[in-house]
Amino acid sequence: MKKPEKIKPATGKLGILLPGMGAVGTTFIAGCLLARKGLGEPIGSLTQMGTIRLGKRTDGRSPLIRDFVPLAKLEDIVFGGWDLFHDDAYTAARNAEVLSKDHLDLIKDELSAIKPMPAVFFPEYVKRLRGENVKKQTSKMELAEAVREDIRQFKKNNGLDRAVAVWCGSTEVHHEAADVHSSLAKFEEGLRTSHPAISPSMIYAYACLQESVGYANGAPNLTVEIPAMLELAREKRVPVSGKDFKTGQTLMKTILAPGLKSRMLGIRGWFSTNILGNRDGEVLDDPESFKSKEVSKLGVLETILQPELHPSLYGDMYHKVRIEYYPPRGDQKEGWDNIDIFGWLGYPMQIKIDFLCRDSILAAPIVLDLALFMDLAQRADMSGIQEWLSFYYKSPMSAPGLYPENDLFIQLMKMKNTLRWLKDEPMITHLGNEYYD
Ligand SMILES: NC(=O)c1ccc[n+]([C@@H]2O[C@H](COP(=O)([O-])OP(=O)(O)OC[C@H]3O[C@@H](n4cnc5c(N)ncnc54)[C@H](O)[C@@H]3O)[C@@H](O)[C@H]2O)c1
Mean pLDDT by 10 residues, the chain (437 residues): 86 97 97 97 97 94 97 97 97 96 97 97 86 92 97 97 96 92 97 96 98 97 96 97 93 94 97 88 80 77 92 94 89 92 98 94 98 98 96 93 90 96 92 86
The CATH code of the domain that includes 78 is 3.40.50.720
Residue 384's SS3 state is strand
Instruction: Determine the 3-state secondary structure of 290 from DSSP.
Output: helix
Q: Tell me, yes or no, whether 137 and 232 share the same domain.
A: yes
Q: Structural domain tally of the chain?
A: 2
Which one, of 34, 99, 39, 44, lies nearest residue 362 by Cα?
Answer: 44
Angle, in degrees to the nearest 10, between helices 248-262 and 287-305: 20
User: Residue 29, exposed/middle/buried by CB under 10 A (0-12, 13-18, 19+)?
Assistant: buried
For residue 229, which phi and psi values (nearest 5 degrees)? -70, -40
Q: CB under 8 Å, gap of 24 or more: what pairs does 306-312 form? A: 306/261, 310/261, 310/264, 312/266
- pLDDT confidence of residue 4: 82
For residue 193, what are the domain limits?
A: 14-245+361-422
pTM above 0.75, yes or no: yes
Q: Is the CB of 83 under 6 A from ligand 1?
A: yes
User: What is the amino acid identity at position 132?
Assistant: E
Ligand 1 atom at minimal distance to the Cα of residue 121 = 31
> Is 360 close to ligand 1, i.e. is its CB under 6 Å away?
yes
Predicted pLDDT at 286 = 81
Distance 282 CA to ligand 1 centre (A): 11
Q: What whole-number distance in Å separates Cα of residue 319 and Cα of residue 100?
A: 37
CATH number at residue 340: 3.30.360.10
Helix-strand-coil percent breakdown of the chain, rounded to 5? 45, 15, 40
Nearest CA owner, ligand 1 atom 32: 119
Atom in ligand 1 nearest the alpha carbon of residue 96? 20
Q: Tell me: do 282 and 228 sit in the same domain.
A: no
Distance CA 151, CA 353 (A): 43
238 and 342 fall within a common domain: no
pLDDT score for 400 = 86
- For residue 235, count other CB atoms closer than 10 A to its CB: 12
pLDDT at 297: 75
